[in-house]
């Protein structure tokens, strides 16, 4: 059966209709603050050239701190975090390196409002929850464009290729169209640098993980700049699950003049992991349902895009962001769980193929002007997305003794999908005195077609959706900024009802209120936010024996999320930095095809999560100059194993640590050479997490050493 191996167990009919994830409302809280210090004489400042919708110089500086002040995702304009009336968290390149982050899950789990690990250790998908709602499929964005999902395969993102990660919490459909009510996770890629930059890195660690990577960039002629990022990894992880990856990410910027720049970028990536990481316990030992020698999931993905920006003499700025993406997946796995109950029983084998292509373009026109005492930033946009996919599924059986030579099952189920979305949007930002106001509207036209290539039948669905957002903030002179905001979202549904029609979109609505505190010239920020999010029209599986064979849904699901978040970040002059976060979440099922579930808590939704990361860089005038120590703790309360709320997953606390040494601090001849060791889950806790009948185990202790040289 396919379901136990999906990124979320509720998607039971993934081969027939693409699951688009719904998400939760989010509010306040943002990592911000001023990093208004000049870099030291020994630091080479890397000027970023092309940042769509943001100040290149400011964003470059912002990555050299764990207390960022800007973002380029929330409003698609250059707006300070403290002046943006919504919840945002930013994970900078400096934070990624200090914590020794290796994947997207590690990157986001010290952020308020974010939880990870709902399906245990699973390197196939970046499973990230924002305020209780999954963002794996409907909220995966890179460089401002969605990394789309239709049937099964998702685009994998290697953290080494990123400059920063920006997490918008709450509905953002006005800016991005179809996106979960939870918000989005926008991955910002490394792009060309103005000054020469060279870096090579070698890694080795648990369990048999070996990786080599490089990052080269700099001038390539008059007004021309390049960057090439590459990586190769051969890795076995916990539970004998592979995590191999090879990639090349080139980019090139042509700065035609002071007003015009064009950046072209690409990505070619191959990866292999296992198709079924599900585990079970037998006689005190954790074992795989599948056989690692038979099991595999191979993914190849390509992306080619460009970012164009031109400033006109009349104060208008035009931007165009376009990308073509392709992902091909081939997977197979086997269910060997009967080997202890009936050693002679045949094993069930499963094969999956998925080919997906996406064409996207986002056109923006920004105008800045004043009317009396009011300053305006007006943004108008038109974007278009076209996604096609071909999905295949097959089942077979094999005798246990013949498994080593068993072929891949023949695919017998074939389906195709075609989705086209056009959106037009407008946003007004107004500044008058200490007040900051934002308002925006968007309308989307969505046309999707689902084809059963075996039966030769076709289902078509046309939808239209109006999205809105509004926010008001007052910035006191002392850096305190209270705000309120409201937003809506939509996600086109791909599930079908019993009469064969595709369901209406899932809608989200949020209201939030918060306070941001960022004193000018200080390297710390505090944010607090309270929110209420309602996600309605959620597809619910219908179990009815009177219906024809198949999987059917109704748009009767509704969940309501209320919560409170705190996040604090600081960098002291003595080399100590802190990142602290706390989230309280009260989730309730307020609509369901099963009335008995109304009033219950959705499965795998913890009430409390908290985290603290402390980093200490020894001062330069001491014998230990160059040494940096880091330690973190993550705590999650228990959660229910199902919507029935009859059993609970236990709460857990996890410890992480890192240590690094910059040899150049004490020996100038070794300038650029550094060694780092990072460890996650030091206590080796492998908690079992169950979701609607499917149980998974967490990742065990991992230790990784890294030797890096920059010149």
Q: What are phi and psi of 154, to 5 degrees?
A: -130, 160
How many angstroms separate the CA atoms of 524 and 696, rounded? Answer: 38
- What ranges in 393-549 are assigned the alpha helix state H? none
Over residues 681-706, mean pLDDT: 89
What is the pairing mode between strands 279-282 and 224-234? unpaired
**Pair 418, 449: CB distance under 8 Å:** yes
Share of the chain above pLDDT 90, in %: 70
Over residues 362-383, mean pLDDT: 97
Residue 693: burial class (beta carbons within 10 Å; 0-12, 13-18, 19+): exposed
* pLDDT > 90? residue 225: yes
Q: Which residues contact residue 198 at a Cβ distance below 8 angstroms, ignoring those fewer than 6 apart? A: 214, 215, 216, 217, 218, 710, 711
* pLDDT > 90? residue 600: yes
Q: How confident is the model at residue 257 (pLDDT cuts 50, 70, 90)?
A: very high
**Pair 205, 185: CB distance under 8 Å:** no
* pLDDT > 50? residue 337: yes
- What ranges in 28-103 are assigned the alpha helix state H? 56-62, 93-98
pLDDT tens digit sequence for 259-269: 999 999 999 99
Token reading at 69: 């002040």
Token reading at 179: 């996106």
Q: Which residues pair with 333 in a beta bridge?
A: 350
Count of alpha carbons within 13 angstroms of residue 70, beta-carbon side: 21
Q: What is the pLDDT of residue 46?
A: 39
Indicate the CATH number of 3-710 among 2.40.170.20, 3.40.50.300, 3.40.50.2000, 3.20.20.450: 2.40.170.20
Q: What is the pLDDT of residue 705?
A: 97
**Pair 605, 23: CB distance under 8 Å:** no
Average pLDDT, whole number, for the chain?
Answer: 88
Over residues 34-58, mean pLDDT: 39
Over residues 37-47, mean pLDDT: 35
Over residues 184-195, mean pLDDT: 94
Q: What is the DSSP letter of 4?
A: G
* pLDDT > 80? residue 390: yes
* pLDDT > 90? residue 41: no
Q: What is the pLDDT of residue 501?
A: 74
Share of the chain above pLDDT 70, in %: 90
Over residues 231-256, mean pLDDT: 94
* pLDDT > 80? residue 50: no
How many angstroms separate the CA atoms of 559 and 532, rounded? Answer: 11
Q: Which residues pair with 689 in a beta bridge?
A: 696
Of the candidates 359, 362, 357, the residue with the CA atom closest to the CA atom of residue 308: 362
Q: Which residues pair with 270 in a beta bridge?
A: 246, 300
Of the candidates 645, 646, 459, 465, the residue with the CA atom closest to the CA atom of residue 552: 459
How many angstroms separate the CA atoms of 625 and 618, rounded? Answer: 5
How many angstroms separate the CA atoms of 537 and 22, rounded? Answer: 10
Token reading at 530: 């309270």
Cis peptide, bond prior to residue 415, ω within 30 of zero: no
Over residues 52-78, mean pLDDT: 78
Of the candidates 106, 99, 111, 137, the residue with the CA atom closest to the CA atom of residue 123: 106
* pLDDT > 50? residue 12: no
Q: What are phi and psi of 337, to 5 degrees?
A: -65, -15
Of the candidates 426, 453, 420, the residue with the CA atom closest to the CA atom of residue 439: 426
* pLDDT > 50? residue 56: no
Of the candidates 555, 534, 532, the residue with the CA atom closest to the CA atom of residue 489: 534
Count CB atoms within 10 A of the CB of residue 698. 20
Q: What are phi and psi of 591, to 5 degrees?
A: -160, 135
- Rg of the chain over Cα atoms, rounded to whole angstroms, equals 25
Look at residue 629 and give its three-state secondary structure.
Answer: strand
Q: What is the DSSP letter of 324?
A: E
Count CB atoms within 10 A of the CB of residue 697. 21
Q: What is the pLDDT of residue 495?
A: 74
Count CB atoms within 10 A of the CB of residue 57. 14
Q: Which residues pair with 253 in a beta bridge?
A: 225, 263
Over residues 309-334, mean pLDDT: 96
* pLDDT > 50? residue 256: yes
How many angstroms separate the CA atoms of 56 and 191, rounded? Answer: 11
Of the candidates 504, 409, 496, 503, the residue with the CA atom closest to the CA atom of residue 457: 496
Over residues 180-190, mean pLDDT: 95
Q: How confident is the model at residue 544 (pLDDT cuts 50, 70, 90)?
A: low
Count CB atoms within 10 A of the CB of residue 637. 16
How many angstroms separate the CA atoms of 332 and 295, rounded? Answer: 6
Over residues 247-276, mean pLDDT: 96
**Pair 348, 367: CB distance under 8 Å:** no
Q: What is the pLDDT of residue 278?
A: 85
Q: What is the pLDDT of residue 620?
A: 86
Q: What is the pLDDT of residue 140?
A: 94
pLDDT tens digit sequence for 644-677: 999 999 999 999 999 999 999 999 999 999 999 9
Over residues 480-484, mean pLDDT: 98
* pLDDT > 70? residue 188: yes
**Pair 308, 264: CB distance under 8 Å:** no
Token reading at 343: 């050693």
Q: What is the pLDDT of residue 43?
A: 34
How many angstroms separate the CA atoms of 415 and 26, rounded? Answer: 35
Over residues 592-619, mean pLDDT: 94
How many angstroms separate the CA atoms of 384 and 689, rounded? Answer: 39
pLDDT tens digit sequence for 104-153: 999 999 999 999 877 778 888 888 999 999 888 889 999 999 998 888 88
* pLDDT > 80? residue 52: no
How many angstroms separate the CA atoms of 353 and 292, rounded? Answer: 19
Look at residue 163 and give its three-state secondary structure.
Answer: strand
Over residues 48-71, mean pLDDT: 68
What is the distance, to the nearest Å, from the Cα of residue 286 to the centroid of all Cα atoms in its chain? 29
Count CB atoms within 10 A of the CB of residue 60. 18
**Pair 141, 187: CB distance under 8 Å:** yes
Q: How confident is the model at residue 593 (pLDDT cuts 50, 70, 90)?
A: confident
Q: What is the pLDDT of residue 545?
A: 58
Over residues 29-41, mean pLDDT: 31
How many angstroms separate the CA atoms of 374 and 401, rounded? Answer: 78
Over residues 14-27, mean pLDDT: 30
Q: What is the pLDDT of residue 688?
A: 87
Of the candidates 73, 113, 172, 80, the residue with the CA atom closest to the CA atom of residue 531: 113
* pLDDT > 90? residue 587: yes
Edge-to-edge strand list for the sheet holding 114-116: 114-116, 128-130, 133-134
Q: What does the domain layout of the chain look like in residue ranges?
A: 3-710
How many angstroms separate the CA atoms of 71 and 163, rounded? Answer: 12
* pLDDT > 80? residue 541: no
């Amino acid at each position: 059966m396919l379901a136990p191996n999906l990124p979320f167990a509720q998607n039971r009919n993934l081969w027939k209709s693409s699951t688009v994830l719904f998400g939760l409302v989010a509010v306040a809280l943002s990592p911000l603050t001023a990093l208004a210090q000049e870099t030291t004489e020994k630091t080479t400042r890397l000027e970023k050239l092309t940042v769509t919708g943001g100040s290149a110089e400011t964003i470059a500086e912002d990555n050299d701190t764990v207390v960022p002040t800007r973002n380029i995702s929330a409003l698609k304009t250059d707006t300070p975090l403290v002046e943006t009336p919504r919840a945002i968290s930013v994970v900078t390149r400096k934070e990624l390196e200090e914590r020794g982050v290796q994947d997207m899950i590690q990157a986001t789990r010290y952020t308020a409002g974010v939880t990870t690990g709902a399906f245990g250790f699973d390197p196939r998908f970046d499973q990230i929850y924002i305020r209780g709602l999954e963002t794996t499929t409907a909220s995966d964005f890179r460089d401002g464009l969605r990394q789309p999902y239709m049937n099964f395969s998702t685009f994998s993102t290697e953290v080494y290729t990123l400059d920063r990660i920006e997490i918008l919490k709450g509905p953002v459909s006005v800016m991005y169209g179809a996106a979960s009510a939870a918000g989005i996770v926008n991955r910002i890629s490394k792009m060309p640098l103005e000054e020469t930059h060279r870096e090579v890195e070698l890694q080795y660690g648990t369990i048999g993980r070996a990786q080599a990577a490089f990052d080269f960039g700099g001038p390539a002629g008059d007004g021309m700049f390049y960057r090439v990022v590459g990586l190769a990894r051969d890795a076995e992880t916990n539970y004998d699950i592979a995590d191999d990856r090879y990639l090349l990410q080139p980019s090139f910027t042509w700065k035609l003049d002071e007003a015009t720049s064009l950046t072209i970028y690409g990505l070619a990536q191959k990866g292999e992991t296992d198709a079924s990481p599900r585990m079970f316990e037998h006689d005190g030992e954790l074992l795989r349902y599948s056989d690692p020698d038979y099991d595999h999931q191979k993914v190849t993905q390509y992306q080619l895009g460009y970012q164009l920006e031109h400033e006109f003499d009349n104060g208008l700025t035009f931007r165009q962001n376009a990308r073509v993406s392709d992902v091909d997946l081939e997977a197979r796995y086997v269910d060997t769980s009967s080997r202890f109950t009936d050693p002679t029983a045949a094993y069930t084998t499963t094969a999956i193929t998925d080919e997906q292509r996406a064409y996207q373009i986002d056109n923006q026109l920004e105008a800045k002007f004043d009317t009396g005492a009011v300053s305006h930033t007006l943004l108008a946009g038109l974007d278009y997305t076209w996604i096609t996919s071909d999905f295949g599924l097959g089942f077979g059986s094999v005798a246990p003794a013949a498994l080593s030579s068993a072929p891949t099952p023949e695919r017998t189920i074939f389906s195709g999908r075609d989705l086209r979305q056009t959106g037009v949007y407008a946003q007004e930002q107004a500044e008058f005195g200490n007040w900051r106001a934002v308002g925006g509207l968007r309308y989307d036209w969505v046309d999707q077609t689902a084809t059963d290539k075996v039966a030769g039948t076709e289902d078509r669905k046309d939808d239209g959706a109006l999205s809105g957002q509004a926010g008001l903030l007052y910035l006191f002179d002392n850096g305190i900024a209270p705000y309120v905001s409201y937003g809506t979202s939509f996600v086109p549904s791909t599930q079908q009802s019993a009469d064969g029609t595709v369901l209406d979109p899932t809608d989200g609505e949020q209201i939030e209120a918060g306070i941001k505190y960022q004193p000018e010239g200080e390297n710390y920020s505090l944010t607090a936010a309270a929110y209420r999010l309602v996600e309605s029209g959620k597809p619910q599986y219908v179990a009815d024996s009177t219906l024809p064979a198949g999987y059917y849904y109704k748009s009767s699901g509704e969940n309501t999320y209320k919560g409170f978040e705190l996040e604090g970040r600081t960098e002291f002059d003595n080399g100590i930095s802190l990142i602290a976060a706390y989230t309280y979440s009260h989730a309730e099922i307020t609509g369901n095809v099963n009335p008995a579930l109304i009033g219950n808590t959705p499965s795998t939704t913890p009430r409390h999560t908290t985290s603290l990361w402390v980093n200490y860089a020894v001062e330069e005038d001491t014998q230990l100059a160059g040494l940096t120590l880091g330690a973190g703790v993550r705590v999650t309360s228990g959660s229910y194993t199902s919507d029935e709320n009859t059993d609970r997953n236990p709460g857990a606390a996890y410890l992480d640590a890192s240590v690094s040494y910059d040899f150049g601090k004490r020996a100038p001849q070794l300038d650029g050479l550094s060694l780092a060791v990072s460890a996650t889950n030091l206590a080796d806790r492998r908690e079992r997490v169950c979701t609607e009948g499917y149980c998974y185990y967490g990742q065990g202790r991992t230790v990784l050493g890294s030797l890096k040289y920059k010149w």
